[in-house]
Amino acid sequence: MITINNLIKSYNGKVAVNIPHLEIDKGIIGLVGNNGAGKTTLFRLLLDLVKADRGEVVSNENAVSKNEDWKSYTAAYIDEGFLIPYLTPEEYFYFVGKLNNRSKADVDEMLSDLTIFFDGSILKSGKYIRDLSKGNQFKVGIAACLLQNPEIMILDEPFANLDPSSQIRLIHMIKELNEKKHVNILVSSHDLNNITDVCTRILLMEKGVIIKDIQTSSATLNELEDYFRA
Amino acid sequence: MQIFIGFIVLYLTAVAILLGFSLDKILSGSFPGKDIVRIFFGFILYYYAFDIVIRFILQDLPTLAVQPYLTQNIKRNKLVQFLNIRSLFSIFSLLPLFLFLPFIIRVIDAKYGVIVSLSLVICIFSLTFFNHFLVLFIKRKTILNQWWLIGFFMAILLLAAADYFQIFSLRNWSADLFSTVIKIPALCFIFIAFAIAALYNNSKFLRNNFYLENLEKSSGEKRSAEFSWLQRFGIYGDLMGLDLKLILRNKRPRSLMLLSVIFLFYGYFFFKPENIQGNNLAILLVGSIFITGMFMVSYGKFLFAWQSNHFDGLMASNMNVKTYIKSKLILLTSFSTVAFFVSLLYVLISWKLFPILLAAWLFNIGIHSILTVFIGTLNYKAIDLSKGSSFNYEGMGVAQWIYSFMILVVGAAIYLPFALLFNSWAGIAAIGILGLISFLMQDWWLDKLTLQFANHKYKMLQGFREK
């Protein structure tokens, strides 16, 4: 699915990402690491939003920096920079739908599945996206990812701004997407409980390097806690 | 860019000093036998009337994100004072001194003595301060409410018209006013009072509007809108709809576009009878390019930067770069085309304007639009749409005029060889034909621009992320 070869990105001489080789295949893959470990930079490299100093990201046999095909099956939400602030949530959803050849009716149908997740505060809110709270903006971003019916979904710290109920619903949704629709999901988080609960594989990053690659088991949470305590 | 602005400032200063020191000779040379002091007085208010307009267009508002300071141990009055004082360091504060003081010292001081000339100097200083703070106040007001902008320009136009049709004479008025000051030097205190009133008014407004950003947000329910007439353009229509909503729903681009509407009236400035009868085609052409290209310039200056706060999302979404660029070209072409149709009203003045406007329009859609996209890919500075109300007027300054200046240089490079070799009409034809050819080559340009965009994409992304 996604292969990384000799990928290096540094800012002002400081290495942000340095990954000699990594295969990302099916499943729900978690990315953990302290601030500055390079998680977001790695995601941006996967989305061709940052130019690598060296190496490449290959998605389904095409380098993302050379071929735009990956856009049609990859959906991502990293931060509010992925939303269009002066649109209402509905306008934004229809716009994203249009980019992905979904009719309005399709979009409406998919949104109706998200009624519980939205909790009544997104649709018909009478607000532009810029006026929504951070948590609700995140919900809009995640919903827009789902609308694209992607094969690969990338979410950067989705749990951080959500209230507890929404976190639980999101975990449920992510698991279901992977099981029923076989969407492969990359998700980063600081919440070790959530990430061990939801992910089948966890990558631990430190100073741009992936220092651990763990298949999740019942021992994983302890292993991670031990690392972060040190 | 900075160097260029520096040169302009230097040039203006040099001209002002030169003019200032030779003003007495120039006046006595051009108006022999008349009282040059009275003629000098006649010019003063004229200068300040122009000064207001020029300041309004060119002078940047002193900006300071006050929020971080509000929680610090700094008195609010101090912040206001700081903003006011810092704003004074501007070329506009110096020009009138260079222009008027030499004459006052050389001629009036010699003739009427120290007290009179001192009171005049005070008048000049006061008027400069008055204009300065008045313009700051009006500019800030226009950010809050666009009607101030329209009102301001209407007032200026009315004044200019009244003077032009000799309903009243600003010159006589000015001359009378300052002649009175000569007789009663104490009148200068009234000028001081005006200056202080403008300063006070501005400070009061600033103090009251410190929290403006917060107040503004929660006004009224926002509804979804759909531009169904754009549907026929397919995905390009949706992308253009996005741009239109960006303009309509954000203050910065909205007031910029509103200003462009006013520029449609610029035609009266260029299409004067003497220019039309005298076949001053170059001036008519410049006017036509401005009128049919003003929307393009206003929006195109920040073509991609407008979307800086959601550029990440656009670049990661399911949309080809080529599609994106093409939507921008269609948008710019549409802007120019709308302006062209409106500008056709000017043909009522003279049929001669039609071919010129046509050529200007072709130039804009064929060459100007390509240049705009090209220049857009070189702009890595983010624009914060969500701010931009009370303390932000960035981009309304000199830089925008330099960009339009560049368009004129390209236009001149096409026009002049043909105009000089053959005649002016050949120059016009060259502009139109080259514009048309370039427009027909749009697909070829599109590939080149897509490549250009791809090469600069990462720099733009990074720049736009840094706020």
The DSSP code sequence of A26-68 is SSEEEEE--TTSSHHHHHHHHTT-S--SEEEEEETTEETTT-G
Same domain, A23 and A66: yes
pTM greater than 0.80: no
- Which chain A residues are within 8 Å of B450, Cβ to Cβ? none
CB of B212 within 8 A of CB of B251? no
Say if A176 falls within a structural domain: no
d(CA B172, CA B168): 8
Q: Is the pLDDT of residue B246 over 70?
A: yes
d(CA B426, CA B434): 12
Same domain, A64 and A86: no
**How far from B330 is each of A96, B143, B237, B295, B378, CA to CA, in Å?**
20, 29, 9, 13, 20
The full DSSP string for B363-384 is HIIIIIHHHHHHHHTT------
Which H or E run contains A126? Answer: none
Which H or E run contains B455? Answer: helix B442-465
Same domain, A145 and A123: yes
**Residue A128 contacts B where some CB pair is shorter than 8 Å:** yes
Which H or E run contains A145? Answer: helix A134-147
Across the range B458-464, mean pLDDT stands at 90
For CA atoms B183, B189, B194, B195, the dihedral sign is positive
Same domain, A216 and A227: yes
Same domain, A84 and A145: yes
pLDDT at B219: 52
Same domain, A191 and A221: yes
Say if A222 falls within a structural domain: yes
d(CA B48, CA B246): 36
Across the range B351-379, mean pLDDT stands at 91
CB of A170 within 8 A of CB of A117? yes
E strand segments, B304-349? none
Distance, first Cα to last Cα, chain A: 34
Q: At a CB cut-off of 8 Å and minimum separation 6, what does A108 contact?
A: none
Same domain, A90 and A202: no
Same domain, A88 and A129: yes
**Residue A137 belongs to what domain range?**
79-149
pLDDT at B315: 93
Say if A135 falls within a structural domain: yes
Last residue of a domain, one of A105, A127, A149: A149
Say if A174 falls within a structural domain: no
Which H or E run contains A190? Answer: none
- Which chain B residues are within 8 Å of A76, Cβ to Cβ? 316
Helical packing angle, B398-421 and B424-440, nearest 10°: 120
d(CA B260, CA B345): 17
Same domain, A29 and A94: no
For residue B170 the two structure tokens come to 């600003």
ipTM confidence score: 0.90
Q: What are phi and psi of A123, to 5 degrees?
A: -75, 145
- Of B259, B258, B260, B280, nearest to B270 (Cα)? B280
CB contact under 8 A, A81 and B312: yes
**Residue A90 contacts B where some CB pair is shorter than 8 Å:** yes
Q: Is the pLDDT of residue B214 over 60?
A: no
pLDDT at B46: 85
Q: Using CB atoms, which residue from B310, B321, B461 is nearest to A82?
A: B310
Same domain, A56 and A127: no
- Of B108, B119, B93, nearest to B189 (Cα)? B119
* Interface test with chain B among A9, A69, A73, A82, by most B beta carbons within 10 Å: A82
Residue found under tokens 């694209």: A148
The number of folded domains in chain A is 2
Q: What is the CATH number of the domain that holds A59?
A: 3.40.50.300
Same domain, A39 and A50: yes
**Residue B246 contacts A where some CB pair is shorter than 8 Å:** yes
pLDDT above 90 as % of chain B: 24
Q: Hey, how many other C-beta atoms are within 10 angstroms of the C-beta on A173?
A: 19
On average, the pLDDT of chain B sits at 82
Say if A170 falls within a structural domain: no
Across the range A154-161, mean pLDDT stands at 91
Same domain, A127 and A227: no
d(CA A230, CA A224): 10
Say if A35 falls within a structural domain: yes
Say if A173 falls within a structural domain: no
Say if A177 falls within a structural domain: no
Q: Are strands A209-215 and A201-206 parallel, antiparallel or unpaired?
A: antiparallel
**pLDDT tens, residue by residue, A109-155:** 999 988 888 888 888 888 889 888 889 999 999 999 999 999 999 99
